[in-house]
């Protein structure tokens, strides 16, 4: 599993064994969003240079989620490659 800070240091993304990645507020520790969709544990989660959340899973897929500032959306948008 992994964790990474956003480039501005305001958010943290974590990879989890439950198949999710979670976005956290670095200052308060509050969970901001849960990225779902993988069918196995998430091995790595990070921010791209455009601040998009990128994950890689043991289910042999990768996903790109919406940028962290778009927190008003209830779900993440995934683009999967196998």
pLDDT bin (cut points 50, 70, 90) of residue 76 is: very low
Q: pTM score, two decimals? A: 0.75
Q: What is the pLDDT of residue 78?
A: 45
Q: Say which DSSP state 51 is in.
A: S
Given a contact cutoff of 8 angstroms between Cβ atoms, the answer to whether 16 and 44 are in contact is: no
In this prediction, residue 66 carries a pLDDT of: 67
Q: Check: CB of residue 43 under 8 Å from CB of residue 15.
A: yes
pLDDT at 17 (0 to 100): 93
Residue range 11-64, pLDDT digits in tens: 999 999 999 999 999 999 999 999 888 899 999 999 988 888 999 999 998 888
Which CATH code of 2.40.10, 1.20.272, 2.60.40, 3.30.1490 fits the domain covering 3-68? 2.40.10
CB 40 within 8 Å of CB 58: yes
**Domain spans in the chain, listed from the N-terminal domain onward:** 3-68
Query: CA-CA distance, 42 to 44, in Å (whole number)?
Result: 6
């Amino acid at each position: 599993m992994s964790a990474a800070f956003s480039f501005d240091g305001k958010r943290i993304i974590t990879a989890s064994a439950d198949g999710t990645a979670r976005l956290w507020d670095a200052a308060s520790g509050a969970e901001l969003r849960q990225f779902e969709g993988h069918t196995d544990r998430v091995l790595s989660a990070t921010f791209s240079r455009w601040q998009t959340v990128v994950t890689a899973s043991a289910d042999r897929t990768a996903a790109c989620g919406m940028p962290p500032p778009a927190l008003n959306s209830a779900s993440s948008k995934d683009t999967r490659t196998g």
